Chains A and B, each alone.
Chain A
Amino acid sequence: MTPRRAADDRRPLGDRLAAYVLIAPAAVVLVVFRLWPLLLGVDFSFTGDGDQDGTPVGFGNYSELLHDPYFRIALRNVGWLVVLLPVAVAIPGLLATFIFLKVPGHRLYRSVYFFPAVLSPVIVGSIFNLLLSYDGPLNKLLAAVGMAPVDWLGDSKTALFTVVGVHIWATFGMALVVFLAGFATLDPSLLDAARSDGASLVQLIRHVIVPGLSRTIQFVFVTTMIGLLTSMFGLLYVMTSGGPGGSTTLPEYYVWIQQGQMNRPALASAASTVLFLIMLVVGLGQIAILRRSGRED
């Protein structure tokens, strides 16, 4: 027994208990309202639906998910979101750069760019439903320049990209603000030095701004990924209902449909568990990235 433990033992019992008592409320809340329901959900996913309610079915629900082409589409769409992530980060990054470099009217743009971030997804979705409808303004514009109209939300080849585009439009204001905060920490003398050495705008971004902002960029990557995976529901609900042909279904939307419309709560639990595992992997990956960038300091 180490001397420290011995010292602990000499303290009165009440004192030693106090520490546990004090963390108990937080721990109880976590266990009762987070961990326990999570375990119940995972447990529930191994039971059947309908006539088989409550009876164990092993991995039956999971194999059904695996064989459901529309769940596979939902997973593939998650893959698309990861592919589109750099675009979602590059847009606010680039615009923030322009504002930082004080393009004409940058004060106005700073507030205009942030404006969509305060709108609810339902309102944004409704606005774009009108703009993107087949006989809507965007297609009229295309027709005016002699291009064929596109059924933005009604064609399974374009719908996901349309909705992600609207999501980026609606949320990039937040990332822009984070970027601008990052720029505030950038050393202006480095920029001046590069400029007086005759660096072009592209060289300036490539060799001065991006390295100086690496931690900000990583942070925006993490928050944008979380936003794409967890807050698209409102837009999907209003704009496409997961269609056409399931092409804009994401796992959380799939869960909602199975639970609410199809009366398959156990199958929905299985899908939730899969979504949880995906989020766990993404989350752990992001923590690793953040840790590494923290160490660079």
Chain B
Amino acid sequence: MKQRALWSVAVVAALALTGCGSAAGGDKTSNSGGKLVVWDWKSGDKTAANYIAKAKADFARKHPGVTVEFVNQPFDQYYTLLGTAIQSGKGPDVMMFNGGGQIRDRVNALVPLDAYVAQDRQRLAGWDAFSKDGKIYGAPVTLQGHPIYYNKSLYKQAGLDPEHPATTWDGFVKDCGTITKATKATCFALGNKEGIGIQFWLSGMGSGILSPQEYDDWIAGKRDWTSPDVKKIFDLWKQANDAGLNNKGANSTAMFTDIFSVFDAGKAADIIGLMSDIGHWKDFGDFLKPENVGVMTAPVVTAGAQPSLPYDGGIGYAVANWTKDPAVAADLVRSLTSTDALSAFYVDAGAIASDTTISTASAGPAVGTIVSELKAGKPALHVALSSKTLDLMGKLSQQILDGSVGVDDALRQLAASDKA
């Protein structure tokens, strides 16, 4: 009997020991000096293979003894997984971020990179989206923005001049009417199932509505949600939908990626799209032919507005503060933003890279227009908002479209969220 009891003790002890062992023996390798672990959602893409290979080669020249492992995470789970890693203080040494709220919300877990990337400040654009309180926390890889793309062949079919789209809102709406009459295509392709359509609208149309002063104040954090021009942005959001300028069922159509195929199929004349990743000039060009994809500036709604291309740093890499040697990790970030690597990314993936020295002359007219507008471009309006306010704006935008919330009520809620 005693023997049996002792055996049970032994079994339980063994179970407990192995249990503890597996629970505590987590990811220790990521902190060792001989290896760097990178998390992103790009390195698995075929179009990024060349980019990653070039960055790795560049880093291997500087640090031959350090191995680099890329872990490709699914994007829709990325920030959930990262949140868990940050909570436990263990995880990748270098990780990818979207510029704006996503990185600013998590700077507590990151190393300021100012000292390491000083030489790259001039060569790369888009740093603001990776900075908070004057410190840089990530280096931009791509630029992300919201050009208004239009389908030149639909303009031609409707008898309009495809090289000179309207520059005022009234003219734009009139052209839309002509196109819809001639081709049955709607004016805008709008997908707002995720509540992201309003972000594109705010940033895509904003520079044609706000005065330059209001625009700069908005970016600087002095946002007046009660100003008539801000209200105009949301009024037009509602009016455009009520007037039938959007495709039907915008609230149940996904921005990623159902709505892009509506534009690809020629069922809509215009779309506020992206510059990099997806839903951009390269994707549209594959379907509509590059010469049929046009880029226009925001139509002017209020007199005195100066339309500009809204863009920021798109995606970039940052260094976790639990990494063993931040200088080595920062060097990897520098390799990931080297000219050589970024030109490969631009050529293969069609991303507008952050490196201003890359030549884009050989691509279609759309990319030429975008690049020429970069100099006068300004940060996008929605990127200045916190992810909490963006989430609220997404929900409210859906409620505005289906009529369950009024524009004034929505603006009041947004003002309160923005102040908090």
Contact = CB atoms under 8 A, between A and B. Distances in A.
A247 B198 CA distance: 18
Given A154-B251, A240-B193, A18 B387 contact: no
B24 interface: no
B123 interface: no
B1 A154 contact: no
Contact of B194 (A135, A157, A241): A241
A261 B16 CA distance: 35
Contacts of B391: 257, 261-262
Interface string A152-196: 111111000000000000000000000000000000000000000
Contacts, number: 122
A72 to B, nearest CB: 13
A133 B253 contact: yes
Interface string A247-283: 0000000001101111101000000000000000000
Interface in B2-22: 2, 4-6, 8-9, 11-12, 15-16, 19
B388 A262 contact: yes
B398 A135 contact: no
Nearest to B388: A262
Interface in A31-66: 32, 50-51, 53
Contact of B105 (A70, A149, A263): A263
B359 interface: no
B1 A18 contact: yes
A118 to B, nearest CB: 25
A163 B249 CA distance: 16
Interface stretch (A19-27, A82-90, A104-112): A19-27
A51 B405 CA distance: 33
B403 to A, nearest CB: 9
Interface string B221-254: 0000000000000000000000000001111110
A116 interface: no
Contacts of A262: 387-388, 391
A14 B6 CA distance: 8
B1 A25 contact: no
B140 to A, nearest CB: 21
B87 interface: yes
A79 interface: no
Contacts of A155: 251, 402
B196 to A, nearest CB: 10
Contact of A134 (B9, B79, B248): B248
Contact of A12 (B2, B248, B399, B405): B2
Contact of B12 (A21, A153, A244, A261): A21
Contacts of B15: 25
Contacts of A256: 80
A14 B79 contact: no
A260 B9 contact: no
B8 A18 contact: yes
Interface of B: 1-2, 4-6, 8-9, 11-12, 15-16, 19, 77, 79-80, 83, 87, 105-106, 108, 192-195, 248-253, 387-388, 391, 394-396, 398-399, 401-402, 404-405
Given A151-B252, A263-B105, 14 more contacts: A14-B4, A22-B8, A25-B12, A133-B253, A135-B249, A151-B248, A152-B252, A153-B193, A154-B253, A154-B402, A240-B252, A244-B193, A245-B398, A256-B80
